[in-house]
Amino acid sequence: MKLFVSVIASFICVCCAAQPDNLPGNAPTRNGYILKGNLKGAEDKKILLVEKSFYKDHNQKDSVIADKKGNFIFEGKLGEPAFYYIAVESKNGLKDFYLENSELYLSGHADTLWNARLTGSKEEDIRQQFQSVLLSDEFYGGFNRIEAAYQNARKQADSTTMKLLEKQKNKLVFRMEGELVVLMKKYPTAMSTVNQVNTYLQNNLEKADSLLHIFEASSIANSGQVLYFRKQVNILKKLNEGNIAPEFSQTDTIGKMINLSSFRGKLVLIDFWASWCGPCREENANLVKVYDEYKNKGFTILSVALDEYKEQWLKAIRYDHLLWTQVSDLTGWDNAAAKQYAVSSIPTNYLLDGTGKIIARNLRGAALWEKLKQFLP
């Protein structure tokens, strides 16, 4: 079941108007940031401050040594708010937050860093409002309960219950969207609002493009997120159905170079996945059945793994019984083919016909079976 859906039209309407720069969600005007903190259990230990912005090729890092009372200070200047985490050497856990040019304060315990309290970041306050919706029991818990029931019905081949659960999921998504749109209206140029584009890159490109046009006409037109998403949308436009899939080459599990074009003449599913990706591993069970059914009827799969460690990659292949062609350059999210196909989430897939033309994408579960029935006996 897929939990991503379209943003409702009211969001588009509210964002069309120009927004004054003093609204929450715009970059603060302070000349730089001062992040002060006190963490019990971090006395005399190294404190790490690491950027984790997904849209940048190089993330910033800094470190200081806490004093004997666990106090520390970071100072610097950002061109725009950015996503960072705090970590303490020899301690497990991280604290994620938006860092911006303001005075911030962090307090808590190094052993439970994720529970530390951060004040002073408007962007982080906004993110927490989005998180409170997304991680609520009504929505996050609700989706998990529906998904568990759906998988149980699927194992029993109970199509009636599966359809009923799909309807329940769609109603829940609609309610969640309603609450998210309220926040988007309130903070039209916040980073958390811009991040919504990422949801639609693989599932509703037209909607992602429309949202970007709105941001590009606002005060954040040149922000890193907006520029990154525009690049991704432009790549994905070239991957619309009817276009020839871009050629790529990567090595398989024994080091042999495999070219996408070598699969011409067959229906081929390009499957982007990773051993560490739970939804990918769940979908692998479906792919195994599909492959067994159609492997002698002109269909095959080319899986591209966004893994970094070969041993983990190979172990997952063996455990999931993946008997088709597997390739990877073992660079994680920097996988060259994944970048070429603007992959921003996994699992992601593209179905190609015998000429290499894209005929569908993001087919999972029953949708893949239904599409293959249209082309194969």
- List alpha helices for the chain, DSSP H: 9-15, 122-134, 142-155, 159-186, 191-194, 197-200, 205-216, 224-237, 278-294, 310-320, 336-340, 366-375
Segment 70-96, tens digit of pLDDT: 999 999 999 999 999 999 999 999 999
Segment 108-164, tens digit of pLDDT: 999 999 999 999 999 999 999 999 999 999 999 999 999 899 889 888 888 899 889
Q: In this structure, are residues 341 and 235 in contact, taking their beta carbons and an 8 Å threshold? A: yes
Q: What is the mean pLDDT of residues 285-311?
A: 96
Q: In this structure, are residues 196 and 184 in contact, taking their beta carbons and an 8 Å threshold? A: yes
Give percent above pLDDT 70 in the chain: 92
For residue 247, give every residue at least 6 positions away whose Cβ sits within 8 Å of its Cβ, in sequence order, or none: 259, 260, 261
Q: Tokens representing 146?
A: 């529906």
CA dist 328 and 311 (Å) reads 12
Q: In this structure, are residues 205 and 237 in contact, taking their beta carbons and an 8 Å threshold? A: yes
Q: Tokens representing 127?
A: 């993110």
Segment 101-114, tens digit of pLDDT: 999 999 999 999 99
pLDDT (0 to 100) of residue 107: 97
**What is the CATH topology of the domain spanning 33-121?**
Immunoglobulin-like (2.60.40)
CA dist 164 and 160 (Å) reads 6
Of the pLDDT bands very low, low, confident and very high (cuts 50, 70, 90), residue 43 is very high
Q: How many helices (H) and strands (E) does the chain have?
A: 12, 15
**CATH code for residues 249-375:** 3.40.30.10
Q: Nearest to residue 277, comparing CAs of 202, 362, 347?
A: 347
CA dist 62 and 39 (Å) reads 17
Q: Tokens representing 32?
A: 């730089």
Across the chain, mean pLDDT equals 89
Query: How do strand 257-259 and strand 249-251 relate by DSSP bridges?
Result: antiparallel
Query: Cα–Cα distances in Å, from 208 out to 58, 214, 244, 286?
Result: 25, 10, 22, 29
Check whether 18 has a pLDDT greater than 60.
no
For residue 156, give every residue at least 6 positions away whose Cβ sits within 8 Å of its Cβ, in sequence order, or none: none
Domains in the chain: boundaries: 9-22+129-237, 33-121, 249-375
- Greater confidence (27 vs 349) lies with 349
Identity of residue 63: S
Residues listed for the chain: 377
To the question of pTM greater than 0.85 for the whole model, the response is no
Q: What angle do CA 301, 203, 234 make, to 5 degrees?
A: 90
pLDDT (0 to 100) of residue 30: 59
pLDDT (0 to 100) of residue 371: 94
Q: What angle do CA 208, 212, 214 make, to 5 degrees?
A: 125
Q: What is the mean pLDDT of residues 232-239?
A: 91
CA dist 343 and 305 (Å) reads 12
For residue 193, give every residue at least 6 positions away whose Cβ sits within 8 Å of its Cβ, in sequence order, or none: 25, 126, 183, 184, 187
Helix then strand then coil, in percent of the chain rounded to 5, is 40, 20, 35
Q: Nearest to residue 192, comparing CAs of 26, 51, 21, 47?
A: 26
pLDDT (0 to 100) of residue 99: 97
CA dist 348 and 272 (Å) reads 5
pLDDT (0 to 100) of residue 337: 97
Check whether 255 has a pLDDT greater than 80.
yes
**Dihedral angle sign, alpha carbons of residues 230, 232, 235, 240:** negative
* CA distance between the termini of the chain: 26
Query: Cα–Cα distances in Å, from 125 out to 67, 128, 130, 176, 190?
Result: 28, 5, 9, 19, 11
Residue 58, Cβ density class (10 Å: 0-12 exposed, 13-18 middle, ≥19 buried) = exposed
Segment 192-210, tens digit of pLDDT: 999 988 878 877 889 889 9
